[in-house]
Structure 1
Amino acid sequence: MLLACCLLYDRVDVVGVVLSALTLVVTAFGVWTTWRASAAMDDGAAARQLSKAVVHAGSMSPRVLGGDRVVADVTYRFRPCAHARGAALPLRPAGRLDGLVADYQVLRPRRLVVTGQPGAGKSVLARSFVAELNKARADGDPVPVLIALGDWEREESFRDWVVRHLVRDYGRSWKRARQLVDAGLVLPVIDGLDEMDRTEVPLAESRAQSALDALAGYQEGLEPAPLVLTCRTDLYDALEASGRPMLDAARVEIDPVSAEAAAGFLSRRAGAAYRQAAWAPVLDELRAHPQGMLARSLSTPWRLVLVATAYEQANDPGELLTCTTREEVGDTLLGHFIPSSVSAAAEAWSRCASEDVHVWLGTLARGLQEQGGGTTDLVLPELARSPRAAWARRLYALLVGACAMVPALILLSCLGGDPVVWGMSAVLVVVGSIGWLHLRPAGISLWRRADFTLPPWGSPLWGVGIRLACSGRGRWAVGLTALWPVLILWRSVAPHPLGGVGDWASAVTMLFTPMLAVVLVTARCLGSAAVGPSGWPRAGLFFALLLLWPATVEIFRSRTAGLGAVYLLTAVGSLYLALCGPMAMYACWLLVNCRRLPFRLSRFLEWSRAAGLIRVTGAAYQFRHREFQEWLTRHPVPARPTPTAHPPTRTTTP
């Protein structure tokens, strides 16, 4: 009998060892097969994948165009170059927004500079250009990618800068991004040359001039590499006159919106259609004085959208007739912009007072101003590294020190004791110390997938990611990797004779393992561009729950919550800080700024995007317009209580 029991236990141990070894083999083989499938992708397939990511990332909120089907009529004209090295122009330019792609495709070389006055619609035109060119793109053509130029520095080569943005903004790996750039399959559409410097910086020493020099040297072999650049008219005129322009490029100038076109745009809006008596004085002034102050103040698509938003539902547009300067018109419009956008939004955040929204956006705008260099990109992972985030970094350093201190004390107290405890403590000290490296801009990280993001819960992107994971070259790797959680669950719940431990309580702690496998595969297939910049905090929360859930269950299962519980939580905390240091620093930054900003900042920014206050470029949020950002830095809090934007009685649209 004793011999039979021993043989039974030996068999159980053997089965357990076989299952554990099989788990490791399947996991390693699945990861290796996935890597091979990814590495085998050719340039054409990689370009098509990037094109899909750009399409997902380039969607604009309807509020960006004013929340109506009526859009301003934007026209342009080619301007002669101030030098002899210009691109060959089309014989019959279209001159309208819907013909820009056709005009660009006949340029030789394909280098285009788009200029216009502030608010002329350069950024919206660049986004529309990227979307339309992606639709007309054939296999072998470069993929247009919209990139904001604000974070480029002189020390970084332009090619490396493009690669970095493909990784950060569009979820490409470093290897894949370099492969695409080296193959000439990326067309940079660069926005914001005029937003790189402060006004007092001399032109010869400006970052804009250095960027223009770098763009002039951006080549494919001996030929100029294709690119599109947007800039304010007066700055680009000064850069051309400096004697160091960008050669081999054509230049188009966006025309101002005429008074008649502005009046036609406003009269066709739904607000003017239902409030004709209120709008009549403004429309009459535009038509009667086409060169007047009001017509010149409303000569850009941005200002027209501001007018439509400010007076769509309420407020009297006739107050614009009392303004005497263009600056006064801008301040009046921007004063109504936030309350009107809040009232027009239908999401949960619209229940917040417009004054709170104003204060939160003003805090973010002041933070960007303090970073200097004309910064316009609001990137969530980088908030904790801003100059104002010193206390957040100190809190993170305190957490790292606390999580590394407990294993260090146990290590010192166990010298010559249990070798298992000694070894685990030494490992945790090393893992916890790695968290300190996240405080450095280029520190070592155990978790290298910086592009890992999660779609919003309930988003149809989850279904898209699962379909992508279950089809294509990586489907066999996905199937093999899916066996890993199955084997782990079997090891937890199976009875002893079949190689399991028969512990159902432990199986509860392992329920997140299949979820992790599905989420990892889904997120890897979607990429950060499809998910958007708000998916990064969700990934951090997911990993926190993933690590803390089993530890919490084990603590509640134990009869004593003494040193063992503290040691377990410390181990989990050290691992999380080592794996997801930037996410932990972002949480510290939110805690430090909880009185000045909503704790669910990413959700607020997504609502602001839907409301038309914020726009998205890749993995970065940006204020709707640079004028709006600068106005918020001057007015971080509402100057006076704003009138409600809800009309007493609202006529429903038939």
Structure 2
Amino acid sequence: MLPFYVEELSEIVAQVELRRLGELGLVRHEGVEVRWNEHNGRNFVGSGEFGSPRAVSTYFSELQTSRIMFIGESGAGKTVAAMNLLLDLIDRRRESESPYDPVPVRVNASGWDPGSCSFSEFVARRISDDYSIRVNIARKLVGSLRIMPILDGLDEMDDDSPDPHRARAALDELNSVEWRGRPVVVTCRSDSFHRIRSLRGNGTGLRDARTIDIRPLAAAQIARYIADYGADFVAEGDSWSGIREKIETEPSGVLAQSMRTPWMLTMTVNLLSSSDVVKVKELVEATDRDVVENILFSELVPAAVASIPRDSHGNKMYSEDQVLIWLATLARHLGVNRSYGRGNSIALDGLWMIAKSRTCRALHGILSACVAFISALPLAVYLTWLEALFAAALCAVVCGIRGAWPVQLRAHKVIWRTRKRGERIARRWLVGGLYGGLSAAAVGVCVGLTYEEPNEFAGLSDPLSVVEMAIMWSGVVGLSVFLAVSLTAHRRPNLDERRLIREDVLAGLQIGLFSWISLGVVIFLLALPRLEAKVALASLAVAPLSVLAMTIVASPMGVLIVALIMLARSKASIRFLSAKLVFAASGEFSSAPGPFLNWARDVGLLRVTGAAYQFRHETYRRWISMLSG
């Protein structure tokens, strides 16, 4: 079975990474052309800048150990280089058709705490969460050398303290016996990399690995890119030529040094495209790199909001002030998370932690208690009103305490799956039929051995035979197992991160509805002894209609079961709803977090790793945090 999962994972990773590359506004192997050089630990190998991103995969394939570390300044393109390498390796894997070539998988280093989780376990969990593969299968893939991890953002594992202890511990584990010599790719900022190396006792980084330093853009490259991009505009004007001349005449000046990474250069070009003469003049006259950074960063939100179309009333979906406030709230939270080693990204099922956590938990408890109380009131059909009120109050107290309990919540996945590409339907149904048949046979044997055939069955004058009883029970169980195995399994990952909450709701709702139907089956079976006529095997043909009728009859109890199961199973979505109510009251964050985060991703303010959102660059998150402070 492992080869099937390997091939499936390879296709899913390629699909997801291509989508993530597009979300960054990039096309594979296109954009600002950067150069790289090999670093031997102290200086560059050779004197020139050699190699382009297109040549990285060729260089990587020629290595004996297939271990490499990308270093460079913030925004230099380390992650993009790693993503392009990943896609190249998957293409090469398709061409070779070798089932033993490992699948490259990119994981965010900020979510790993080496003190509490091994690297193998961390990679397996990330594969399970990000690509919807069962964790036991993911562990087997990692343990059988079928995975080549790409650890992205080693520098983001720690805060700005002088001792990056988590990053040092991460390198120690990658250099341990278990991982030494195994293929792995790591990305890290240059300053963090050199600080880590200096603090490690042996002064080395990743053992048996080649270190690739992505070089800063030269002044000539910057000027040429601006000239080529400005040529597409009808009226280039003084703005484009003024910036270009400043860089050409002062190649070591503040402006040229500030724009020597692709990200800063792209932001400068976007500013020039906006024709904001005042800002461009401030940029040319800047005397400090922090001033340049402040000018460029301050234009990101206005440019993003300007791209929002107006509605019929002339209003925009978001204002600049709202976006700045919400991004500042997110930046502060992620900064706190990073200082505690909890990573620098957040998914929708963890968004409630941005709100006031105690208020959010209390609201969750109140919502759960109200839903449980209202759902239990129909029990008055079977009980007295006093007994129904007591049962409703008991359900409300239990569900309220459970909802407000301070635990880490994670969204559940929907149990129904869509057919995977390349998977044969016949095989899926065959496996389901096999499990269903075995389950039916086991239940039939158990019923046959335990059910005695007296003259009467629970008072029924004409009882069922052992064969009929065994067929009835084994048919119900076998059919349930058949459908469960055939129609459920791990699902393909959704590229829409908002599906995380929707699937959590669906998971609880579907399990609740199945339980309701099962209740109808139980009532149907309990009603059989009260029938005066013999229930023959032929009557099983109308059993589904009888079950449906009993399910409707049991609707008061069924509503309660569905509500209680959803409260227990879909806690992440209820906590998410509580957070939305808190956000609507406080205004610290959008009351519709999913659409806002997706919009921020689409305009380049945020990016997505797995199903979690994070800022496009750590430097921008810090700037937003300082602005809010």
The TM tier, using the shorter chain, reads 0.7 to 0.9
Find 2:296's aligned residue among 328, 333, 349. 333
Shift of 1:318: 3.4
Write the mapping of 1:391-430 to structure 2, written as runs, cut at 5 A.
391-403=359-371
Structure 2 equivalent of residue 527 of structure 1: 492
Judged with a 3 Å threshold, the aligned counterparts in structure 2 of structure 1 residues 68 and 160 are, in CA distance, closer, same or farther, namely closer
The residue identity in structure 1 corresponding to 2:359 is: W
The residue identity in structure 2 corresponding to 1:535 is: R
Question: Is the CA contact (8 Å cut-off) linking 2:361 and 2:405 kept in structure 1?
Answer: no
Question: Is the CA contact (8 Å cut-off) linking 1:453 and 1:536 kept in structure 2?
Answer: no
Supply the distance in 1 between the matched residues of 2:76 and 2:266 (Cα, whole angstroms): 11
Find 1:474's aligned residue among 402, 419, 428. 428
Question: Is the CA contact (8 Å cut-off) linking 1:453 and 1:531 kept in structure 2?
Answer: no
Question: Is the CA contact (8 Å cut-off) linking 2:36 and 2:49 kept in structure 1?
Answer: no
The residue identity in structure 2 corresponding to 1:473 is: R
Any gaps of 5 or more consecutive residues in structure 1? 1-41, 84-88, 455-461, 483-516, 552-563, 638-654
Structure 1 equivalent of residue 253 of structure 2: 292
Structure 2 equivalent of residue 231 of structure 1: 188
Structure 1 equivalent of residue 172 of structure 2: 213
Judged with a 3 Å threshold, the aligned counterparts in structure 2 of structure 1 residues 80 and 192 are, in CA distance, closer, same or farther, namely same
Shift of 1:413: 14
Deviations 1:289-317 (A, max 9, x none): 21111110000011011112233233133
Q: Per chain length, whose mean CA-contact separation is higher, i.e. which structure has more relative contact order (CA < 8 Å, sep 6+)?
A: 1
Shift of 1:288: 1.6
Shift of 1:282: 0.4
Write the mapping of 1:505-516 to structure 2, written as runs, cut at 5 A.
none
Find 2:575's aligned residue among 570, 575, 585. 585
Question: Is the CA contact (8 Å cut-off) linking 2:413 and 2:503 kept in structure 1?
Answer: no
Deviations 1:224-256 (A, max 9, x none): 221111111122112222224332211110110
Shift of 1:358: 2.4
Find 1:368's aligned residue among 325, 330, 334. 334
Question: Is the CA contact (8 Å cut-off) linking 2:230 and 2:236 kept in structure 1?
Answer: no
Shift of 1:359: 2.3
Structure 1 equivalent of residue 129 of structure 2: 168
Supply the distance in 2 between the matched residues of 1:174 and 1:414 (Cα, whole angstroms): 44
Supply the distance in 2 between the matched residues of 1:347 and 1:567 (Cα, whole angstroms): 49
The residue identity in structure 2 corresponding to 1:281 is: G
Supply the distance in 2 between the matched residues of 1:104 and 1:427 (Cα, whole angstroms): 63
The residue identity in structure 2 corresponding to 1:230 is: T
Structure 2 equivalent of residue 253 of structure 1: 213
- Where 1:290 maps in the other structure, the secondary structure is coil
Any gaps of 5 or more consecutive residues in structure 2? 437-481, 516-553
Alignment of 1:379 onto 2:369: no
Question: Is the CA contact (8 Å cut-off) linking 1:66 and 1:305 kept in structure 2?
Answer: no
Supply the distance in 2 between the matched residues of 1:104 and 1:143 (Cα, whole angstroms): 15
Structure 2 equivalent of residue 539 of structure 1: 503
Question: Is the CA contact (8 Å cut-off) linking 2:23 and 2:607 kept in structure 1?
Answer: no
Write the mapping of 1:475-490 to structure 2, written as runs, cut at 5 A.
475-476=429-430
Write the mapping of 1:637-648 to structure 2, written as runs, cut at 5 A.
none
Supply the distance in 1 between the matched residues of 2:619 and 2:82 (Cα, whole angstroms): 18
Shift of 1:471: 3.5
The residue identity in structure 2 corresponding to 1:321 is: V
Alignment of 1:107 onto 2:69: no
RMSD value, Cα = 4.4
The residue identity in structure 2 corresponding to 1:593 is: F
Deviations 1:449-476 (A, max 9, x none): 834499xxxxxxx9x8576676463255
Alignment of 1:611 onto 2:577: no
Shift of 1:437: 9.3
Structure 2 equivalent of residue 627 of structure 1: 619
Find 2:90's aligned residue among 126, 134, 138. 134
Structure 2 equivalent of residue 241 of structure 1: 198
Judged with a 3 Å threshold, the aligned counterparts in structure 2 of structure 1 residues 157 and 434 are, in CA distance, closer, same or farther, namely farther
* Aligned-residue identity in percent: 25
Question: Is the CA contact (8 Å cut-off) linking 1:366 and 1:633 kept in structure 2?
Answer: yes
Find 1:321's aligned residue among 280, 284, 292. 284
Supply the distance in 1 between the matched residues of 2:316 and 2:398 (Cα, whole angstroms): 43
Shift of 1:330: 0.5
Shift of 1:218: 6.2
Alignment of 1:358 onto 2:324: yes
Question: Is the CA contact (8 Å cut-off) linking 1:400 and 1:436 kept in structure 2?
Answer: yes
- Equivalent pairs counted in the alignment come to 524
Shift of 1:134: 1.6
Structure 2 equivalent of residue 450 of structure 1: 412
Supply the distance in 1 between the matched residues of 2:321 and 2:397 (Cα, whole angstroms): 47
Alignment of 1:49 onto 2:8: yes
Structure 2 equivalent of residue 650 of structure 1: none
Judged with a 3 Å threshold, the aligned counterparts in structure 2 of structure 1 residues 357 and 567 are, in CA distance, closer, same or farther, namely farther
Supply the distance in 1 between the matched residues of 2:35 and 2:310 (Cα, whole angstroms): 35
Alignment of 1:303 onto 2:264: yes
The residue identity in structure 1 corresponding to 2:173 is: A
Question: Is the CA contact (8 Å cut-off) linking 2:607 and 2:615 kept in structure 1?
Answer: yes
Question: Is the CA contact (8 Å cut-off) linking 2:364 and 2:574 kept in structure 1?
Answer: yes
Supply the distance in 2 between the matched residues of 1:362 and 1:117 (Cα, whole angstroms): 24
Judged with a 3 Å threshold, the aligned counterparts in structure 2 of structure 1 residues 388 and 123 are, in CA distance, closer, same or farther, namely farther
Question: Is the CA contact (8 Å cut-off) linking 1:453 and 1:538 kept in structure 2?
Answer: no
- Where 1:146 maps in the other structure, the secondary structure is strand
Question: Is the CA contact (8 Å cut-off) linking 1:309 and 1:337 kept in structure 2?
Answer: no
Alignment of 1:124 onto 2:114: no
Q: TM-score, normalised by structure 1?
A: 0.70
- Where 2:299 maps in the other structure, the secondary structure is helix
Judged with a 3 Å threshold, the aligned counterparts in structure 2 of structure 1 residues 452 and 107 are, in CA distance, closer, same or farther, namely farther
Write the mapping of 1:563-582 to structure 2, written as runs, cut at 5 A.
571-582=561-572
Write the mapping of 1:174-189 to structure 2, written as runs, cut at 5 A.
174-189=135-150
